[in-house]
Structure 1
C-alpha cells in the first residue's frame, strides 16, 4: 500500500506514519528518543571494547567469508577469537590474520612453525580447502607470518549465524531495508 502525497509518494504508508509520528512529538519526547538511541549505541560500544580487553583480540568476533576452511568452518560461521600474546602459536591451530595491503582478515590453519632460540616465531598458513599454502596471499616478498600479523585464534564458533552480515554486504539495499524496519519497530514499540 502506498500513500499519495507530495513528498515521498514512493514510500510505504508505515514509513510516512513514522515521519508523521516524529513530527507530532514534542521536543522533550524527541530528546528522550535521541538519548535512548545514544545509550543503546554507547552500550554496544562498551560491550565491544570490553570483549576486546577480555579476549586480547582487536576483533573478538569475525564471520567466515569464504569456503577456504571447509569442512572445519563454512561461509557464514561466526568465530569467537582470543589473542593472548603469551600463548605460543602451534601447527594445526586456526588463526585469523591480516596481511598488509588487504582490508579483510583471513581465517586459515597454521601448517608450519619456525621458532628461533630468542623466541621469535614465524609460521605458514593454508586454508583446509585450498590446494596450496598462503604465500600467494601474503604481501610481496613475504614468505612467513609473524605474531604481529595475528588478529586472533579461533576458540569457538556458531554455524551460519554470520550469514546476515554476508547478505547485508552482498545486497546493500537489504541492509537499508532491515535498518528501516528495525527503526520503525523501535518507534512503534515505544508508542504502544
Structure 2
C-alpha cells in the first residue's frame, strides 16, 4: 500500500490549475507522437512506416547468408548500423522472426522478386508481411503484378488473396522492407494478446505524468 497510498495522496494534493497543466503536458506527449508518426509517413511514402511481424510465416529469422557484407550481431550499436546499412544492401536475403519490427519505405522504383513487402488484402484488416517471388509486367499498360509467399509456407499466397485474385497490384502494397529490429515487437504482441497489460501501462504512465512534481 506504500506506493499506492503515496500516489493517492499525491493526486489529492494536486490543485486544479496544476492538474490542468499536467493534463496539457500529457496531451502534448500524445500529440507529439502523432506528429512524429505523420512525419514518418510523409518521409517514407508509406501509410505504415513501422510494422510488427505477427506470425511465423517468414521464419527462420532475419539474417544474412554467408559471404555477405555483414553478419548477425547482438550489440545495440551494430543493430543501429544494420538499420542504416540495409538501405544499401540486397534485400533478397532478409528473413524474419515473429516479433521483429520492420521499417518500411515506398519508393517509385520497380518492385523486384526477392523483396519483402507489406500488403493489404481486400476484406482483411491486418496487413501481411511476405516476400515477392514473381513479378509480371503488363506490356500494354506497364503496370506490375506481384505474387508473394511466406518463407516458411509451402505454397504462394493466392489462397490468402481475395476470391478470384491471382496477383497483387501496386495499390495493395503498403511498403517495402528496408530495415529491422529483432524481437522488439514482442511488446506490441503481448499488449495485443493481453489487453489488461496495455491498460495498466497506459494508466501508470498517465498517473506518472499527472502526479509529476516537475
Q: Which of 1 and 2 has greater Rg?
A: 1
Q: CA RMSD in A?
A: 1.5
Q: 1:36 aligns with which of 25, 37, 49?
A: 25
SS at match of 2:102: strand
Shift of 1:179: 2.0
Aligned to 1:75: 98
Aligned residues: 179
Q: 2:179 aligns with which of 156, 167, 188?
A: 156
Shift of 1:116: 1.5
Q: Are 2:189 and 1:166 equivalent residues in the alignment?
A: yes
Q: 2:129 aligns with which of 75, 94, 107?
A: 107
Which fold has the larger relative contact order, with Cα–Cα distance below 8 Å and residues 6 or more apart in sequence?
2
The answer for unaligned runs of 5 or more in structure 1 is: 2-12
Shift of 1:68: 0.3
Deviations 1:124-177 (A, max 9, x none): 000000001000100111110000000101000000000000000111111122
Shift of 1:40: 0.6
Measured in 2, the distance between the counterparts of 1:133 and 1:16 equals: 57
Q: What's the TM-score, normalizing by structure 1?
A: 0.88
Runs of 4+ in 1 over 6 A off after TM superposition: none
Q: Are 2:54 and 1:65 equivalent residues in the alignment?
A: yes
The answer for unaligned runs of 5 or more in structure 2 is: 61-94
Q: What's the TM-score, normalizing by structure 2?
A: 0.79
